[in-house]
Structure 1
Amino acid sequence: MTVPVHVLEGTTLDRLLSDDENRLLDTIDELRSQGVGRLLGEPGQPGLPQLIVCGDQSSGKSSVLEALTRVRFPTKSTVCTTFASELRLRRGPRSRIGCRIRAAPSRSQEEKEQLARFQGFFDSAERFPDLITAARDCMVKASKGPTVAFFEDILEVEIVGPKVVPLTIVDLPGYIHYSESKKDIDLVQSLVRSYVQQDNSIILAIISAHNDIGNQSVLTEIEKIDKAGARTLGVMTKPDELPSGSEKEAEYLLHASNNPNKFKYGWHVVRNRSYEEQDSTFEERNKREADFFQDSSWKQLSGTGVSLGIDALQQRLSRMLLDHVALSLPSLVQQLEDDLKRSEGKLARLGEARSTPKDQLNYLSDISESFREYAREALEGRYHRKSFFGDPLSLEGLEKRLRAKIRNLNDEFASRMLTQGHKWHVVEDEELDFETSSQSAITHPNFIAKSVFLERHVDTLAQVERGNELSGTSNPLLIGSLFHQQSAPWEQIASVHLDDVWNAVKDFLELLLRHLADERTGNQLLIHIIDPALENRRQQMRNKLEELLVPHRDHSPINVDPHFARRIWSTREERVAKSLVEAIRKELTLNKDKAPISSNEEIIAKIRRTESTVDDKYGSNETFEFMQAYYDSAILIFVNNVVSLAVEQCLLTGLPKIFSSLDTRDMTNEKLELIASESREIVLERDRLKERIQVLRTGIRTIREVRPGKL
């Protein structure tokens, strides 16, 4: 509920600040009201401070608040604060007061709706106690369960006026020393702690001189949260209730002057209204307080750094307020500048207003020009535009670095082809041991010993494809059949690679359009231009892959490499040499006392004996060697062809021109309207961004002018 008021007495803090300081607070409050960058109230961001008043029950909290704000608080000894009240003081040209109840999260939906209808009447600062009573009655009525003494609901009161310092003041329930319900004690402690631990809280720790210092719960609780006392000011109340010259008075005087709690802002002493003085004016209250400190023992504190009286407290709070804001200025300005940069970028992507076909054509032409430049740089591996490509030292944003992404995918493709492209992983018998078997099983599931492979697969295949070849010689056609089986995984591996590369390009283009255009236009460009063009290129890649697979899948092997035969003979020589060395090693191991082989005849005899142990009726060994030599040559050619002819030629070549100015010039007015027109949301967003940018620029300029030496 909001009502206008003709007269509003705000805090007197504003008259204690300079014009520049008031201007600074007004600027920050304006930023807050605009919701700029969520600058205030974030964790780690002091922002606009809030004044938290906490203490034990009947410690005089409400009386201190009343004297500070000149807003009447319930101060009767029989009435205690049972919920949090937030007074949000905001500066504005016209005075008004608004209030509402913010329901606790634990409330049911029905209870929340009932509290939302709260109609407490508050048309002047004098009527605040009535508002508190009405709010409590509303909370009680909304509660469906058993009657409770304290509530988690919050009464929010916004007070706007031309002489109000932008500040939030929170009145909290007092710490309870004893209650029949432990739930009440825990609820109050939890509620106070939730406010006190916020970094943007200035804490007024209120203690009553009427009670023993050791029994003041507020001091113990604050020490747990604000351990250094950096945000706390201690306030002693009711000094007039101590007998002059008494031991207890001396104890409090010593405590205030020594500051054993290590509060950064020390201690302050105020004299509140007595019961008989409840109806006195604020001026009368301040006069009686000044007379008391002039004539009592408390006067001696004035030279010890301890301040006395409400006027001095207002001055200290004004300094604390400015100090609190000053601490946040460097990070605040940085946030403003970051927000300004983001907002300007968003506005640039929206472009100028476009209501006519010419405006829409110009907008799309600008996008196509930038699209071509960004895409070309991404393909060439030039990532100097950090606003899009990001920081090179960061591993994030690789999907925007298109050439790097594709190079990495190509490397993964080549590695997978070399390790998994063959159907069988054939291992020489003499190399097959437990360690080799374990490692091979990890890298390739179909590993097999060469002798077993020749017997089970090559010999079996030779039997069904026998021709007129002589026994012991290989069938040339068998080489092709064996190769076709061995290279069977190529198609699936290459298809997956082409899909991965295509998806990488699609992701890149989507990110690029999101960077260059507003969301609606970007989506329309994807639907009508980019996606059809990409699908066409995807089909071209698939057709090219099919073309590249044909000679390896359907035709007999062809090789015109003049060094191919030399590689075959080298393989044979290596096989014979290995067999001989292994045979001699075994013989020497079994016959250690026998003289070593020395003559050529013995070596030849050993070779014959070794070769004769091989029963190669179908020439399978020779077939396998020819097939393997051809496979090793063909797989490299295939991998390079997939990368160069399918990926590069069919997908990447001409990619920057996939959306060109020619596409935009050929569009009909209807299509321009469909793709580049603005929704009402975009129009509103552009206006919002322009206003936001203006507020940000003004805020940065004002802060720098007010605090030129601090930033």
Structure 2
Amino acid sequence: MEDISLDADALGQLQAEQKELLDTVDDLRKHGIDRFVDLPQIVVVGDQSSGKSSVLEAISRVRFPVKDGLCTRFATELVLRADSRARVNVTIEPSPSSNREVQPFNETRFNSEELPRLIEDAKRRMLVDGSGFSEDVLRVEVRGPNLTQLTLVDLPGFYHSEDVNQPAAGREIVDRLAARYMSRDNTIILAIVSARNQVILQAVLSKVKEHDKNTERTLGIITKPDLLAPGSQDEENFVRLAKNLDRSHKLTLGWHVLRNRTEAEQDCTHEQRDNTERDFFMSAPWSSIPSRNCGVDKLRAKLSKTLLQHIKDNLPSLIHGIEDSLNDRQRRLRQLGSPRSTPDQLRSYLDHIASQFQRLSRDAVEGNYGDEFFGGLYPETGGIDTSYGRIRKLRGLIRDLNRTFAYILATKGSSFIILSRKSDEGDDNVSGTPALPQFLQGLIDQYKVDEPPTVSFESIAVDLERLSSENQGNEFPGTSNDRVAIQLFQHQSKPWEKIAHSHLKLVLDTAKAFVETLMEHIIGPDTQTFAAILREIVHPFFDQKVSELENKLEELLHHYKSGYPQPLDAEFRSLLSSRRRKNLTEEALRDLLATRPELFTDAGREELRNKQNISHSSGFGVEALIDKSETYYEMSLRTFTDNVIVLAIENCLVRDLPNVFTTRAVSRMEPARLEQLASESPDIQQERTELQEEIDALKKGFESCNSINIIRNG
């Protein structure tokens, strides 16, 4: 059994009132939860040879190196913890910027005289490169039945002059170490000021004001008062400082005076040291200082009250932090589910995932966004594109994508745009399709489609006159060959395939991202099961859907690419008549020109004759061909758009999304399949154990803090 020997009475003075709370807090620290908890520690800072180590030794009665000159080259944490079993753990903790690993010591005993030996051993390990200082930390954790929780930190002293042993780089290391500890809200700073030097010449108080701006966590300690010349001005100044009367260095926690051991007194016992100190403070002028501010016994009592008040001040935030941490760990534990090793346990775990997936995916398809998975009205990650926030609200995003698809087809779906007889190339919105709202403009960028060129009606009529001649069959002269109108339609509708293919891929990628996001939400930190379900279930499902959608698109396009037009008679006649009525005015004017030419100006007569020449020069009825082709295009575009949305996207993809992973499929799985999908990795097993331990410790801490809070408020 390890040998642990410390002065429990002296240490107990520091924590007589707060032992119950710190016992609970220590359980939290053991489980690595202290980042949520503001734990107190005492840090001693000061200039070199100001008596820092002597102060720590007097407080704890643990021997620190106290030789004059440069001693402390790195931070030393003395961590005392109550435990039913005595043991010691000594390590060198690398600095945050270091990539070295923790170095353990093989120590089995510790008493009040052991620390100097450990520090010398640490020097040989930490300063191997000849550097004067190190940002690594020597941590000595001592546990035993007669100890109470306390952390004491000895830091290297601030220095002014530089030499071989104290380079400028060393000063920067000392400053960084001091900042690391002094800036923490859980640190109580003991600012050591030596009476051997004037206060203004010591750097420690300027460092205090830098890291504790309101000096609320700093207790000033005056050391070596016995070295002052009796009756001197320096003695008078330090007495005023000890009474907290010096406005330049006034501290909220005040000042305290200690008398350090002299060189000749190094072998004295702790009791002899304390008796000598009491006798000194009974002499003038130090006897004028209130007794509560003199001597190590009173300092321990003062630190005990300071520690207790610090804990009480932070108790509400401590309780809040524990509660948040508890809720977070309970939620993660629920996500991991119960331990699973048998086929029944594996099946139960997968059944839970499948039922959750079916419910939430069905809600997404139906547009029911009440679950927390979908976020609120203003999700944290939003945007109009297919981003993380929008993907969760699947039905809304697919509808907007379909709306954009219909707009792209209507405005960019033809090989070229035929301007009407009365239009010119400067006309806006030739298609007559309403513009998309501004909030949907971002989705248009998802479709990489060029703007189609525009051609005049007269230009296409001239081309069709030539093409009709080249494609003459056995029809009577002066009649149109409707096959030319069909070929014009097929040429115009060529972009449909590329646009539809882009749309299907975009919807498919969106649906796949939704399923992956939902699975990640349900499964949580179990990355092994998440990866297995994606690999074995989700990805094969979508690979199959790629093939299905490609086949469906080919089926929907086949009729338009090589089939025979089968428009509904009534609708086709109605749309064709409407289109032809637009030209009746021009034909009536030409008839009027023939019978009453005197009603027209010369310019008007010339324009009508030119149009008449174009129209009458056609022996193949090209105007009728264009009207028929455009009418059929208008009808087919609407049908094709609906078919892609309903027959392809809805029937082949969206309605099957809740069936990606079902409870029925889980119930039919063989044991080998269950093992493949849901077996627990050692990491998950370890995480579950650690979470349960942390939850137990947090519950205990939450109950104890609440009970102490009730007593405090009562």
TM above 0.5: yes
1:253-273: per-residue Cα shift (whole Å, max 9, x none)? 334324534533232222222
Q: Once the 2 structures are TM-superposed, how far is the Cα of residue 219 of structure 1 from its aligned partner? A: 1.6
> Aligned pair 1:276/2:292, yes or no?
no
2:125 to 132, 138, 153: 138
> Aligned pair 1:28/2:15, yes or no?
no
Q: SS of 1:551's equivalent?
A: helix
Q: Once the 2 structures are TM-superposed, how far is the Cα of residue 642 of structure 1 from its aligned partner? A: 1.4
Q: Equivalences for 1:417-566 in 2 at 5 Å?
A: 417-425=409-417, 431-433=424-426, 444-450=450-456, 454=460, 462=468, 464-467=470-473, 475-517=481-523, 518-560=526-568, 562-566=570-574
Structure 1 residues 482 and 234, CA gap change in structure 2 (3 angstroms): farther
1:178 to 161, 177, 196: 161
Conserved in 2, the CA contact under 8 Å of 1:96 and 1:161? Answer: yes
Q: Which stretch shows the higher mean deviation, 423-432 or 539-548?
A: 423-432
Conserved in 2, the CA contact under 8 Å of 1:419 and 1:444? Answer: no
Q: Once the 2 structures are TM-superposed, how far is the Cα of residue 86 of structure 1 from its aligned partner? A: 1.9
> Aligned pair 1:84/2:75, yes or no?
yes
1: CA distance between counterparts of 2:402 and 2:298? Answer: 74
2:334 to 348, 365, 375: 348
1: CA distance between counterparts of 2:512 and 2:658? Answer: 13
Q: Once the 2 structures are TM-superposed, how far is the Cα of residue 61 of structure 1 from its aligned partner? A: 0.9
Q: SS of 1:273's equivalent?
A: coil
Q: Once the 2 structures are TM-superposed, how far is the Cα of residue 704 of structure 1 from its aligned partner? A: 1.2
- Equivalent residue number for residue 140 of structure 2: 157
- Equivalent residue number for residue 589 of structure 1: none
Conserved in 1, the CA contact under 8 Å of 2:155 and 2:178? Answer: yes
> Aligned pair 1:93/2:80, yes or no?
no
Conserved in 2, the CA contact under 8 Å of 1:46 and 1:324? Answer: no
1: CA distance between counterparts of 2:3 and 2:533? Answer: 54
Q: Which stretch shows the higher mean deviation, 227-236 or 333-342?
A: 333-342
Q: SS of 2:110's equivalent?
A: coil
Conserved in 2, the CA contact under 8 Å of 1:70 and 1:125? Answer: yes
- Equivalent residue number for residue 75 of structure 1: 66
Q: Once the 2 structures are TM-superposed, how far is the Cα of residue 564 of structure 1 from its aligned partner? A: 4.5
2: CA distance between counterparts of 1:613 and 1:698? Answer: 99
Give the partner amino acid of 1:320. T
Q: Once the 2 structures are TM-superposed, how far is the Cα of residue 62 of structure 1 from its aligned partner? A: 0.8
2: CA distance between counterparts of 1:230 and 1:575? Answer: 91
What's the C-alpha RMSD, in Å, of the aligned pairs? Answer: 3.9
1: CA distance between counterparts of 2:456 and 2:12? Answer: 93
Q: Once the 2 structures are TM-superposed, how far is the Cα of residue 179 of structure 1 from its aligned partner? A: 0.7
1:325 to 311, 321, 340: 311
- Equivalent residue number for residue 65 of structure 1: 56
1:464-486: per-residue Cα shift (whole Å, max 9, x none)? 54446789875422332222222
Conserved in 2, the CA contact under 8 Å of 1:49 and 1:321? Answer: yes
2: CA distance between counterparts of 1:458 and 1:709? Answer: 97
> Aligned pair 1:197/2:183, yes or no?
yes
Q: Which stretch shows the higher mean deviation, 320-329 or 634-643?
A: 320-329
- Equivalent residue number for residue 9 of structure 1: 7
2: CA distance between counterparts of 1:507 and 1:202? Answer: 51
Give the partner amino acid of 1:173. P
1:390 to 375, 383, 386: 375
1:410 to 387, 402, 405: 402
Q: Once the 2 structures are TM-superposed, how far is the Cα of residue 49 of structure 1 from its aligned partner? A: 2.8
Q: Equivalences for 1:241-252 in 2 at 5 Å?
A: 241-252=227-238
Structure 1 residues 151 and 666, CA gap change in structure 2 (3 angstroms): closer
Q: Once the 2 structures are TM-superposed, how far is the Cα of residue 283 of structure 1 from its aligned partner? A: 2.3
Conserved in 2, the CA contact under 8 Å of 1:120 and 1:134? Answer: no
Conserved in 2, the CA contact under 8 Å of 1:538 and 1:651? Answer: no
> Aligned pair 1:358/2:350, yes or no?
no
Structure 1 residues 408 and 28, CA gap change in structure 2 (3 angstroms): farther
Structure 1 residues 560 and 92, CA gap change in structure 2 (3 angstroms): same
Q: Which stretch shows the higher mean deviation, 482-491 or 677-686?
A: 677-686
Q: Once the 2 structures are TM-superposed, how far is the Cα of residue 251 of structure 1 from its aligned partner? A: 2.2
2: CA distance between counterparts of 1:29 and 1:456? Answer: 93
TM-score normalised by L of structure 2: 0.83
Q: Which stretch shows the higher mean deviation, 608-617 or 90-99?
A: 608-617
Structure 1 residues 105 and 680, CA gap change in structure 2 (3 angstroms): closer
1: CA distance between counterparts of 2:329 and 2:95? Answer: 34
- Equivalent residue number for residue 632 of structure 2: 630
Q: Once the 2 structures are TM-superposed, how far is the Cα of residue 644 of structure 1 from its aligned partner? A: 1.6
Q: Once the 2 structures are TM-superposed, how far is the Cα of residue 74 of structure 1 from its aligned partner? A: 0.9
1: CA distance between counterparts of 2:74 and 2:551? Answer: 73
- Equivalent residue number for residue 252 of structure 2: 264
Give the partner amino acid of 1:127. E
2: CA distance between counterparts of 1:512 and 1:413? Answer: 26
2: CA distance between counterparts of 1:574 and 1:688? Answer: 80
Q: SS of 1:707's equivalent?
A: helix
Q: Once the 2 structures are TM-superposed, how far is the Cα of residue 73 of structure 1 from its aligned partner? A: 0.8
Q: Equivalences for 1:663-678 in 2 at 5 Å?
A: 663-678=665-680
2: CA distance between counterparts of 1:579 and 1:698? Answer: 95
Structure 1 unmatched runs, 5+: 582-596
Conserved in 1, the CA contact under 8 Å of 2:48 and 2:69? Answer: no
2:300 to 306, 311, 314: 314
2:696 to 694, 697, 701: 694
Q: Once the 2 structures are TM-superposed, how far is the Cα of residue 77 of structure 1 from its aligned partner? A: 1.0
1: CA distance between counterparts of 2:449 and 2:500? Answer: 18
